[in-house]
Amino acid sequence: MKHVTLRQLQIFEAAARHLSFSKAAQALFLTQPAVSMQIKQLEEQAGLPLFEHIGKRVFLTQAGEVLLAHVRAIAAQLREAEAALASLAGSFSGLLDIGVISTAKYFVPALLAEFRKRFAQAEVKLAIYNREDILARLAANDCDLAVMGLPPEGLDCVAERFAPNPLGIVAAPTHPMSRRYRLALADLEGETFLIRESGSGTRQAMERLFAEADIHPRRFLEMGSNETVKQAVMAGLGIALISLQTARHEIAAGRLAVLPVGGLPLLRSWYVVKLRQKQLSPLTDEFRRFLIAEGAPLIATL
């Protein structure tokens, strides 16, 4: 029944309800031949007669009964869809489907908790990726909204800045560089740098920093996450450029020292990003506005 139209099903339902083509025609403001014609086409598609005419009376055949049950179920589904869409349009419920860059996972949950105090009915799907993966997700329309450290290049997006993201170089407090009062980037050329995996935005920021300063550290150890980078720095394996928000507890507890390097911290920002063509649900759009209006002060209190 591939070519059946909703209109035909509606006409069939009216004829089945009234058990009369003329009453169905009246109810739908159609002529009786128009109703007969649509029913005939529907019967052709069904491959079975749907009505039988006995004397002057019209009855549903068994096939007609079966189809009627389905048509009523379809109508109920449509009403449900209508109600779901209406409630989505008029209220802030539904799913918040956001992709967050791995470095932002240190503060996004706290922002979500605050947001859900106001919109308790919001369901949340939070996925954590590195920069490369998040760009692929956005491009595939696989998440509604993304939080990242640098707007995507080469993707038609709207990226709005909502909070500062300072990047600094950290070392173990026992590291000799931690005792220095002032350092230039060039002083660190001989150090071992712990770096994130390729595809990471933090790594990209570090590579740009070194290229712009024209310094060429020779020893790198690659670690797959901020967490591992921090643990490795604390264990004395080397030093690392990281988003200071990811290390705030360790810095406050004196387990990591921020090196006083001239020109640092690197002042980057957090951005909330969506594809330009993406139609955000009212809830998701509200979360976007919430990040822009309240993200920075909330992050500052963490």
> What distance in Å separates the CA atoms of residue 299 and residue 107, rounded to the nearest whole number?
7
Q: How, if at all, do strands 57-60 and 51-54 pair?
A: antiparallel
Determine if 150 is a binding residue for ligand PGA (CB under 6 A).
Answer: yes
User: Least CB distance from residue 229 to ligand PGA, whole Å?
Assistant: 10
Determine if 246 is a binding residue for ligand PGA (CB under 6 A).
Answer: no
Residue the block writes with tokens 């035909």: 8
Smaller CB distance to ligand PGA: residue 89 or 267? 267
Contact between 148 and 283 under an 8 Å Cβ cutoff? The reply is no
Considering only CA atoms, which of 256, 240, 260 is closest in space to residue 248?
Answer: 256
Determine if 245 is a binding residue for ligand PGA (CB under 6 A).
Answer: no
Under DSSP, the state recorded for 29 is T
Determine if 148 is a binding residue for ligand PGA (CB under 6 A).
Answer: yes
User: Least CB distance from residue 213 to ligand PGA, whole Å?
Assistant: 19
Smaller CB distance to ligand PGA: residue 131 or 175? 131
Determine if 131 is a binding residue for ligand PGA (CB under 6 A).
Answer: yes
* Binding residue for ligand PGA, selected from 200, 266, 274, 298, defined by CB under 6 A: 200
User: Least CB distance from residue 38 to ligand PGA, whole Å?
Assistant: 58
Determine if 8 is a binding residue for ligand PGA (CB under 6 A).
Answer: no
Task: Pick the stretch among 72-80, 112-120, 184-192, 194-202 that binds ligand PGA (CB under 6 A).
Answer: 194-202
User: Least CB distance from residue 201 to ligand PGA, whole Å?
Assistant: 2
Contact between 107 and 59 under an 8 Å Cβ cutoff? The reply is no
# chain residues binding ligand PGA, by CB under 6 A: 12
User: Least CB distance from residue 205 to ligand PGA, whole Å?
Assistant: 6
Beta-sheet strands, E only, within the chain:
51-54, 57-60, 94-101, 122-129, 145-148, 157-171, 192-195, 219-222, 240-243, 257-258, 266-275
> What distance in Å separates the CA atoms of residue 104 and residue 114, rounded to the nearest whole number?
16
Contact between 127 and 100 under an 8 Å Cβ cutoff? The reply is yes
Smaller CB distance to ligand PGA: residue 52 or 227? 227
Determine if 201 is a binding residue for ligand PGA (CB under 6 A).
Answer: yes
Tokens of 270: 């957090």
Smaller CB distance to ligand PGA: residue 42 or 111? 111
Smaller CB distance to ligand PGA: residue 200 or 284? 200
Smaller CB distance to ligand PGA: residue 42 or 134? 134
Residue the block writes with tokens 């955000």: 280
Considering only CA atoms, which of 296, 177, 298, 164 is closest in space to residue 236?
Answer: 177
Residues in region 98-117 near ligand PGA by CB under 6 A: 101-103
Contact between 106 and 295 under an 8 Å Cβ cutoff? The reply is no
Distance between alpha carbon 273 and the CA centroid of its chain, in Å? 10
Determine if 202 is a binding residue for ligand PGA (CB under 6 A).
Answer: yes
Determine if 196 is a binding residue for ligand PGA (CB under 6 A).
Answer: yes
Binding residues for ligand PGA (CB under 6 A): 101-103, 130-131, 148-150, 196, 200-202
